[in-house]
Structure 1
Amino acid sequence: MDISNIWYFLSGLTLLSALMVVLAKNPIHSVLYLVFTFFCISGHYVLLNAQFLMAVNIIVYAGAIMVLFLFVIMMLDLRKNKPDSKSSLTKLAGVIVSGVLLVIFVAAFHKNSMPVPSADTVGFSSQTGMVENLGKILYSEYLLPFELVSILFFVAMVGAVLLGKREAGERNF
């Protein structure tokens, strides 16, 4: 089987499962479709010879974060917290905005033909997506953005702890 056929198959599965994330009525089904979308994206990483990114995508996103989302959704009582029905004007505005976005996307894809990536045209070596090469690039060329992101995560973590402590303190009084 040719690599371009696998790429087209994975792309179709990714788009279909991403569409089902939005269209699913049950939020648990939506999370499960999102997990499947992450697995399809991991297949794209394998085709691009980025095995480390594939493993991180499966472990972090499909494993940890989606399990957390699923746990939170299952803990909520969604029948009690049902939102009010949307007016027909809101639904009409949503359909119009979606249609305009669809026309823009179709026009952009029609104007720019995107080639299918293959190992021959991209020039991958056998070690392109390996951890050693990723680490060398990450800690040489991208050291400043890497450290800035780590500081951003640290500040977000401290902020979440402070907000959680303040809310817990307000409940006790």
Structure 2
Amino acid sequence: MELLFFYLVALVAILSAFMVVKCKNPVNSAISLVMTFFCLAILYVMLYAPFMAAVQVLVYAGAIMVLILFVIMLLNLGPEMMERFQHGVVGGAIVAGIVMIQAVMFVNRGEMAGISGDVTRDQVLEVGHMELIGMKLFTEFMLPFQIAGILLLIAIVGALVLAKKEV
């Protein structure tokens, strides 16, 4: 039953990801992206990673998608802009097909990496997911965390500058 549910969620994720690329309206594309994010959150729950599922829903399906929708609405791209970039669809489809074939070949012929970290299953059960992630995030990965925050701030300011009519 679990395998059937996995295949169903994976199918919905693939179809919604396809709709992200295929939709002509950017808002419909963004809504399909939200559905893809929710499917990924379900897959995280199936992998016994509830914190990652919650972060997936809160950060990506919530905050990032609101940011993307605001940028889409502020830029107000008309149909003439969409027609300008139609020539790249065939080339993009060919490149995506080649990358997908390579990924399938890599997964089928590859072996497990065998890399193990310093966190064991017993430690996760004893301490908890969130405490371990928080300890790593605010000690070892503090600089990348701050850089990501600054990049998001720059993206918001850039969207506002692009949306402003007069400089």
Q: Count residues in correspondence.
A: 156
Hey, which bits of structure 1, 4+ residues long, moved more than 6 A? 160-164
Over the matched positions of the two proteins, sequence identity in percent amounts to 32
Alignment of 1:6-85 (within 5 A): 6-79=5-78, 82-83=81-82, 84=84
Name which of 137, 140, 143 aligns with 1:145.
140
Aligned alpha-carbon RMSD (Å): 3.8
Alignment of 1:79-94 (within 5 A): 79=78, 82-83=81-82, 84=84, 93-94=91-92
In structure 1, the gaps of 5 or more residues are 115-123
Name which of 71, 84, 97 aligns with 2:95.
97
Q: What SS class does the counterpart of residue 141 from structure 2 fall into? A: helix
Instruction: Report the residue type matching 1:137 in the other structure.
Output: L
Query: Which protein has the larger Cα radius of gyration, Structure 1 or Structure 2?
Result: 1
- TM-superposed CA distance for 1:155, in Å, is 4.5
In structure 2, the gaps of 5 or more residues are 113-120
Q: TM-score, normalised by structure 2?
A: 0.68
Rounded to whole Å, the distance in 2 between the matches of 1:79 and 1:6 is 40
User: 1:12/1:60 Cα in 2 relative to 1: closer, same or farther (>3 Å)?
Assistant: same
**More RCO (CA 8 Å, sep 6+):** 1
